[in-house]
Structure 1
Amino acid sequence: MSSINKIIILILISKSLFGQELISIKSDEHYSTHQSTDSIQLPFWDDFSVNPIDNTKWSFFENISLKDYSNNNAPSLNIVEFDGLNSNGNSYNHPNGYGEADVLISDIINMKNYENNQTVYMSFFWNFNINGEHPDYQDSIKLEFMNKQNEWELVWYKTGGAENFIGNDFIFEILRITAQFMHENFQFKFSNIGNSEGPFDSWVLDYIYIDSNRNENDSTFLDRTLSFTPKKIFKDYFSIPIKHFSLSDEITDSLEIKVKNLDKNIQPINYSYLVSSDELSIFQFIENEKPISPILNGFESRVIKNKKINISDYNSDLDSININLKFFITSGDSSLYNINYLNNDTSYYKVDFSNYYSYDDGSGEYAAGLNQKNSELILEYKTLKKDTLTHISILFPNTNNQYNGSINLVAYNNYKEEKILNQPEFISFDNKKFNIYKLNNPIIVEDTFYIGFKQNENNFLPVGLDKNNDSSDKIFFKVDGQWNKNQVIKGSLIIRPIFGKSDYIITEVNEKKLVSDIIIYPNPSSGIIFFSESIDKGLIIDLNGRIIDRFKKSNQLNLTPYPEGRYDIVFSKDSITYKKKIIIK
């Protein structure tokens, strides 16, 4: 993908990961590797089910992202994702916006003893990334081998384009390693060529295996696997407030997991599902060594639906708890030299519960948003019980965007009616840390309500998007004064309602805050204005939504350098945010 059009719809723009130092790679660059002192002996096997990546097998891997998608039919737990971003969520940004991006290089494998061996083959699984932007015709993924002259030699590649996408099944490849690569310093390298400015032109890779005594038809493995980590125990939500557990039976769902048989023969498999929590003193098997019936056929994948967890039994007065989900199979898999088929038989996941609802799991692989002033982006929620909305949290990832203005938090009982919240706020961009906004006037909500924000300038404003969970039917956006239900993206926006006790006098129609207002005077003014109290920090915004000045710790402002007209001043005092209009004459 060579460019992206920022039109006024929801658009995918960037991964939201850890945002650290940018590391760029050029195709002719020397790779700073972490080779071990001892070379690897065959067999070589890695299915990436161990996260973080097994650094005993790889010499260059720091930029690689391991992902666990529930919808891509992977051979086993976790896949390697190739696109235009490194593992820190930063784009490579080559000068022309295109080139080699993610790179994965094996450690040294001693192949000298196989120089006359015709049975050494390398196999792997690959596909387009259905959770990212598909590669175009000019984009590629490639495999190179290190030859005896210590030069990289291209041995396999695939190009993108709609005609080359055959669906949501990984493609199996097997290549014979020929004599020119049979030396003591053999290595292999996967890399992708494409747009280096974001999460574009994306591929996935899994289950790499090299050994002798193989042939071109060797596609069977004595391995039974879990395809992804099951995480979601509710029909829609990922997490709910602890105080709402007692009413949760109607929304709980059976945990789903996909089990695969990578062998050509049938294989009996038992599965177990364990729920535990230290805070709640729980250690409960929901299923224990239950046989999968009928027995899995050769190369068969099957979705297992487990019994529901009775979350309503876990009521607690604690402010936060963790519930651990462990799913595992027993199938006769074994651990061999350099191969541990047991790695992909067990999944673990910890679900955090506190005082909020969420559709997301807290990780934004991408972001989505709007790019029009006065547009609104909201998310529909349905609370299990009447409660007090005290905060709203939003993840605004740092995606090298140009938005530098403020927002207005908004809330509705019905988005086609009047707002019940319209509160100006500042934005802090971070790839992990949420913006947690305290409502000046807490709101009592019941049944269905909507929360989100209105943006105050035309630049694109990204919101974290979790691609592992899909609540796309809960997203609504307003552009040009018209409300629209999302039909553009798949995923869950990271916007959460937080509930709690309030220090304010609350009514269901009009909430009154027990603090005095801060007055700006004179207004209109010739340019010198005063605050009735010293404020902490603030912004001055013109009619076009541009921030023209910032200030801190002040009780007066000098606006005489600015033209006559109307301005907005957004400022905070004691964690409460205010928005005032002033006129300069």
Structure 2
Amino acid sequence: MNAFFKIAFFALFIGSYLPGYSQEFETAIKERPVLKDARRNQKETRGRTVLSLPFFEDFTNTDYYPSADQWQDSMVYINNVLGRRIQSRGIATFDALNAKGLPYSPNSAFASVYADSLTSQLIDLSAHSPGDSVYLSFLFEGKGNGFAPQAADSLMLFFQRSNGSWAKVWEQKGAAMESFATALIPLTDTTLFHSDFRFRFVNKATFNVGNAHWHIDYLKMDTGRHYQDSINNDLAFSYWGNDDYNRSLLNEYMAMPYNHFDANRTVHYSGLLGMTLRNTWLTTQQANIVLQLNNSQTGANLITSPQQTFVPFNDRQGLDIAVPGTASVLTANGNEPFTIDAKAYWTQPVTGDYSAANDTITYRQTFSNYFAYDDGSAESAYYMSSYQGVPSFVAQEYALSVRDTLRGVQIYFPRQVPDAANKMFYLQIYRKIDVVDGQNEMVYEQTDLYPDYESRVNGFVTYRFDNPPVLDAGAFYVALMFPAGGFSDSLYIGLDKNKRGANFRYYKVATQWEPSLIDGALMIRPLVGKAIPVSVAAVGSSAMTIEVFPNPAGQYIKVKTGAEITGLKYTILDILGKELKAGTVHGAKIDLGTLAAGIYLINFRDAKGRLSQKKIIKH
């Protein structure tokens, strides 16, 4: 068989085989970058804090970490994005990540660990007894918008006795749950009624399998309760969005440049801002809700007329409030970044309502130099797995309202175990792709790029284009291409699972693009407009011009570089990514004598930190 027919046969084989092999996947996130520089107020607690009954916590007035007024530790993550069907805004999430958002077991792919804990401040129960009918109740959920705890995972509750020992009083084994459930635990042991009582939640997690996401909310401990006393009599804001839609003043984007918004308001402006309320009373509750908007650039503001809504008992209710598209609060001077800060609240509290803190909810609408479908928080990670020897692609669609310059792209690459810093990718810009437009038209490509985990800002790293393309108004696609060879697939990209509806994402292996079947928005943000300031930490084309030969090689390969490259170091990996050999290039050659015949990847790094990657065959 001659060479041409061998190649043709191989291409035909790959094209017919890959659709069943190459797939897109979703996996658990293995870091929480917003916690990297967050401030833990527990460190500021001084002296002895002793609480008394009643104890109540719905995690409303905290940012990222639990309040030091109520809690002694800071291992859980306070958020409003990882739970599903949240009752009151703010939940505490347990996972396999520590207080700084990093894995408890970073070097072991499937370690089972006792992970997060949440310990109350001291509670003086010395004046009480079992006859006072003291109960602790709380809501809990496994999975939510995260990943389901595995069968070996669990969430546990402990009470501290007067002798200092801890008694396990409740446990929930790993399972996926469609909504929050209620637990109600009585205090019947006389040894629990002392001045230094505490309770503690602990989760057991299997890292790299599901990360064991558990969420708790609405903790209440008080006297005079009974086994059916799970009602809190509370009307609360749960989250922005009406049934997961109208979460933004924009129709599809969560953020975009103002000049593109203003040039096509009829397409981009939703005209509505949605919110969801939850009523835990046994009677229908009425609220008169006001929406207040403030423009950070012009100072303009808007306060809507009170809108009456009725929330059925023990149910949730969505509400949309209209904002006129001509309102001055939506107008800006020029195209400098600005925000519109939104606050919704009811005009007067509900009589007898248990918590007033959740009667207000806030939101920030951003207009800046980027397009974003995501809200800045990743609930999971997206990756592709492709057939060895065939590149794979993923693209996300955007649209320009006016002619503009594409300056670069921001991407959130979550950390992986093992480390993925050596996984190469290309950035490509398309005006057309075949599944949408009937043909492919690539207008820009930047090659030999790598995920950067050290220069990130709020999780994102900026990739600056060397020769920024100027694009006319219309659709364009930001694509990541993972080169053939099996070394660069399975590179994680942040995925915002709170994005509902169309995902504007496509993927390709071999011949044709296909619509993505995984919900959510990839955390990829194209940058437009003015040149990216030098002060912004950004990655340009970090590749070096390096040649290696002969290839296939015998005992040695020769390395040819430009004169500007100095201090060149190398790392040789096998096809599974295992490091086999490392060193510094001397005499423009590398000794391969100890390696068996096979395919290898060589990563090069020079004194300036620039990277290059080559695949070789040793015979």
TM class by smaller structure: 0.7 to 0.9
Matched with 1:59 is: 72
Q: Does structure 1 residue 347 correspond to structure 2 residue 349?
A: no
Q: Where does residue 91 of structure 1 map in the other structure?
A: 103
Q: Which residue is 1:514 aligned to?
A: none
2:424 aligned residue:
406
1:462 matched to which residue of 2?
A: 492
Cα separation, 1, equivalents of 2:609 and 2:273: 41
Q: Does 1:173 align with 2:199?
A: no
Question: Which residue of the other structure, out of 368, 371, 384, is the alignment partner of 1:370?
Answer: 384
* 1:236–1:330 Cα change, 3 Å: same
Q: Is the 8 A contact 1:19 1:398 kept in 2?
A: no
| 1:299 corresponds to which of 314, 318, 322 | 314
What does residue 506 of structure 1 align with? none
Contact 2:34–2:459 (CA<8 Å) still a contact in 1? Answer: no
**Match for residue 466 of structure 2 among 412, 416, 440:** 440
Comparing 104-113 and 63-72, the one that deviates more: 63-72
- Write out per-residue CA displacement over residues 470-494 of structure 1, whole angstroms, 9 at most, x where no aligned residue: 466322222355533221x332111
Letter in 2 for 1:160: G
Question: Contact 1:270 / 1:290 at 8 angstroms: preserved in 2?
Answer: yes
Change (3 A) 1:396 1:377: same
Q: 1:133 pairs with 147, 156, 160, which one?
A: 147
Partner of 1:494: 523
Give the CA deviation at 1:572: 10
Partner of 1:269 in structure 2?
287
Query: 1:323 pairs with 330, 335, 340, which one?
Result: 340
Cα gap change, 1:482 to 1:244, in 2 (>3 Å): closer
Cross-structure match for 1:429: 453
- Residue 502 of structure 1 deviates from its aligned partner by 6.8
Alignment of 1:197-208 (within 5 A): 197=208, 200-208=211-219
Corresponding residue number in structure 1 for 2:84: 72
Q: Are residues 1:155 and 2:169 paired?
A: yes
Report if aligned partners of 1:272, 1:329 keep a CA contact under 8 Å in 2. Answer: yes
Q: 1:27 is matched with which residue?
A: none
CA offsets per residue over residues 178-206 of structure 1, 9 Å max, x none?
14222212111112223134652222110
Whether the 8 Å contact between 1:67 and 1:81 is mirrored in structure 2 is yes
- Cα 1:19–1:345 change in 2 (3 A) is closer
| Residues 129-160 of structure 1: CA deviation (Å, up to 9, x unaligned) | 22111123333222221123322112222223
- Specify the alignment match of 1:110 in structure 2: 124
Q: In 2, are the aligned partners of 1:518 and 1:533 still within 8 Å (CA)?
A: no
Shift in Å, 1:332: 2.2
TM-superposed CA distance for 1:551, in Å, is 11
2:479 aligns to what? 452
Shift in alpha-carbon separation, 1:86–1:197, aligned structure 2, 3 A: farther
C-alpha contact 2:28 2:208 (8 A) present in aligned 1: no
C-alpha deviations, 1:252-283, integer Å up to 9, x for none?
A: 22211111222223332111111112212221
Unaligned runs of 5+ in 1: 1-5, 22-30, 504-516
Distance (whole Å) between structure 2 residues aligned to residue 418 and residue 543 of structure 1: 35
Shift of 1:92: 2.0
TM-score (norm 2): 0.76
Residue 483, structure 1, aligned to residue 483, structure 2: no
Alignment of 1:410-421 (within 5 A): 410-416=428-434, 417-421=440-444
Matched letter for residue 93 of structure 1: S
Q: Helix, strand or coil for the counterpart of 1:352?
A: strand
> Is the CA contact 1:473–1:485 (under 8 Å) kept in the aligned structure 2?
no
Secondary structure of residue in 1 paired with 2:468: strand
The aligned amino acid for 1:175 is I
Separation (CA, whole Å) in 1 of partners of 2:607 and 2:336:
28
Shift of 1:385: 2.7
> In angstroms, what is the RMSD of aligned CA positions?
4.2
CA distance 1:574–1:110, shift in 2 (3 Å): closer
Distance in 1 of aligned mates of 2:26 and 2:121: 38
Show the counterpart of 1:513.
none
Match of 1:40 in 2: 51
Q: Is the 8 Å Cα contact of residues 255 and 307 (structure 1) preserved in structure 2?
A: yes
* Alpha-carbon distance in structure 2 between the residues aligned to 1:174 and 1:578: 58
Counterpart pick for 1:232 among 238, 244, 248: 248
Which residue in 1 is equivalent to 2:562?
A: 531
Give the aligned length. Answer: 545
CA distance in 2, matches of 1:440, 1:537: 23
C-alpha distance 352-557 of structure 1, shift in aligned 2 (>3 A): farther
Q: Cα–Cα, structure 1 residues 15 and 527, in superposed 2: closer, same or farther, change >3 Å? A: closer
Q: Answer yes or no: is the 8 Å Cα contact 2:424–2:488 preserved in 1.
A: no
Letter aligned with residue 240 of structure 1 = M
- The equivalent residue for 1:512 is none
CA distance in 1, matches of 2:544, 2:313: 72
Contact 1:245 1:315 in 2 (8 A): no
Checking the alignment, whether the CA contact within 8 Å between 1:272 and 1:289 is kept in structure 2 is: yes
Please say if residues 524 and 583 of structure 1, whose CA atoms lie closer than 8 Å, have aligned partners that are also in contact.
no
One-letter code aligned to 1:441: N
Q: Is the 8 A contact 1:65 1:80 kept in 2?
A: yes
Q: State the alpha-carbon separation in 2 of the partners of residues 290 and 196 from structure 1.
A: 47
TM-score normalised per structure 1: 0.80
Does structure 2 conserve the Cα–Cα contact (< 8 Å) formed by 1:245 and 1:311?
no
Structure 2 stretches of 5 or more lacking a match? 1-20, 37-41, 242-246, 435-439, 533-542, 552-556
Structure 2 distance, partners of 1:322, 1:106, is 37
Q: Secondary structure at the match of 2:203?
A: strand
Contact 1:35 1:108 in 2 (8 A): no
Alpha-carbon contact 1:476-1:483 (below 8 Å) kept: yes
